[in-house]
Structure 1
Amino acid sequence: MSVTDDAIEAIKQMIVDGELRPGDRLPRELDLAERLGLSRNSLREAVRALSLIQVLDVRRGDGTYVTSLEPALLMDAMSFVVDFHRDDTVLQILEARRLVEPAATELAAVRMPMADIEALAELLDALGDSPTVDELVESDLEFHRRIAAGSGNAVLASLLETLSGRTQRARTWRGLTQEGAVERTLGEHRAIVQALTRRQPGIAGALATVHIAGVEQWLREALVDGD
């Protein structure tokens, strides 16, 4: 582990231990470097790295502060990395969604207010039976965002919003090229809403798995055919 890594770990531990809390200002650079037994250069590199992933906020002329550490803020750094994806990485993103999103859907079946579930049904009804691919993809993103939020777990919701948005291109491609993709997606969404309405977490999670796995399998086959 490098000296900079040591500095990053030391600051992280101060936050984990509660010594530094969201919104707190870090001690003066000289004081903190002496306390941690680090050079000021190593400390600066650590602060720069932690500011890039939005753990710290460097304010010129004011000091360095711990950010709010809200999940959505921290996930922004992840979205920066995920943006530089290739098609095979999209497969990995879909695989991650297939593993995580059913859990969020199960939680939503227990925790999501009935009014919000009814609003999901209205979102689908507003599309009609023959939406354009762009309309479907936009609705699809909102559909999954609402369910993730309905899980009541802010970390899950932020993670899934980051992952879901990065598969938009694949969803559009599927809608344009796979026969029956629009109808299949609408049918699967309605089935998920029905399970949520009936408060059936196991069924809702299973339906979410099948739904995401369908996109994943289609992309795997499309990439093989394109080789």
Structure 2
Amino acid sequence: MAPLRKGDWPVSLTDRAIAQIRELIQTGELAPGAKLPAEAQLAAELGLGRNLLREAVKALEAARVLEVRHGSGTYVTSLEPRLLLEGVSDAVALLRGDDIIEVTEVRRVFEPAATAFAATRVTPADLAVLREHLDAMRASLDDVEQLNFHDAAFHRAVVAATGNTTMTILLDGIANLTVRARVWRGLVDANVAGRTVAEHEAILRALVAGDAVLAHAAALMHVTTTEIWLREHIPAEHPETS
């Protein structure tokens, strides 16, 4: 890779240094688990100052791309999706107001698709887990916290049935925020518990049938119902989030 040139810095020096290290990883020059060259050597190879290289390494360590082992050196992590994406939930939880609606819109796009995908891959063991959470929801109609706990677990189990780890982690991070929203919904709307259970029953029926189209429709109906409620209630009931 060519060294930094003063005339072509489109981003900050630190961002450029981060990009250079990422390129080494993306091209396979630094594989998962590989140890980085000594600081002086790597800085010289990349045309970076050592202080700038340290800043880039710290940023990539925070992003779970690199791991600094004191007394041993700096290594590329496993780069597994679970590791790289584990901060999604924490980041999403900080969103407020209209951002919550945007996250729900993202969920509306991806969760029905994931549910349809799950219908083509779901196993008897997966269905047994889903039935357990649905039974628990039916038994928790008067317990908002338990209802929402099993609601969220039901959705995690649906997406997990796809066998797609990246999809599972991303959607779980998004759903963590909507769990809080569903708690508000349960507290404000006395009729929501029964409707929520009915919507989940429809999703499960579609999965049992292995019907991807029906699964997509059932999940879309459920997520859209939540989104409509949020649009109507978040500004009025929770002005502190806007």
Q: TM-score range by the shorter chain?
A: over 0.9
Q: Residue 176 in 1 paired to residue 187 in 2?
A: yes
Aligned residue runs from structure 1 range 115-194, under 5 A: 115-128=125-138, 130-194=141-205
Pair 1:99 & 2:137 matched: no
1:96: how far off? Answer: 1.0
Gaps of 5+ in 2: 1-10
Structure 1 residue runs without a partner (length 5+): none
Residue correspondence of structure 1 range 1-227 to structure 2 within 5 A: 1-128=11-138, 130-226=141-237
- CA–CA distance in 2 between the matches of 1:110 and 1:131? 34
- Please state how far the C-alpha of 1:77 moved relative to its aligned partner: 2.4
Q: Percent identity between the aligned chains?
A: 45
Give CA deviations for 1:173-211 in whole Å, capped at 9, x if unaligned: 001111311011100101001100111111101211111
Q: Render the CA deviation track for 1:122-170: whole Å, top value 9, x for unaligned.
A: 3212333534111110001100111111111111001011111122211
Q: Is the Cα–Cα contact under 8 Å of residues 3 and 42 in structure 1 kept in the other structure?
A: yes
Taking the aligned partners of 1:106 and 1:29, their CA distance within structure 2 comes to 48
| Count of residue pairs brought into register by the alignment | 227
SS in 2 for 1:61: coil
Distance in 2 of aligned mates of 1:198 and 1:207: 13
Cα distance in 2 for partners of 1:52, 1:60 equals 15
For residues 67 and 33 of structure 1, the distance between their equivalents in structure 2, rounded to whole angstroms, comes to 20
CA contact (8 A) 1:54 1:77 kept: no
Distance in structure 2 (CA, Å) of the matches to 1:120 and 1:131: 20
Deviation above 6 Å: which 4+ runs of structure 1?
A: none
Q: Secondary structure at the match of 2:74?
A: strand
**Structure 1 residues 160-169 or 137-146, which shifts more?**
160-169
Q: TM-score, normalised by structure 1?
A: 0.94
Largest Rg, 1 or 2: 2
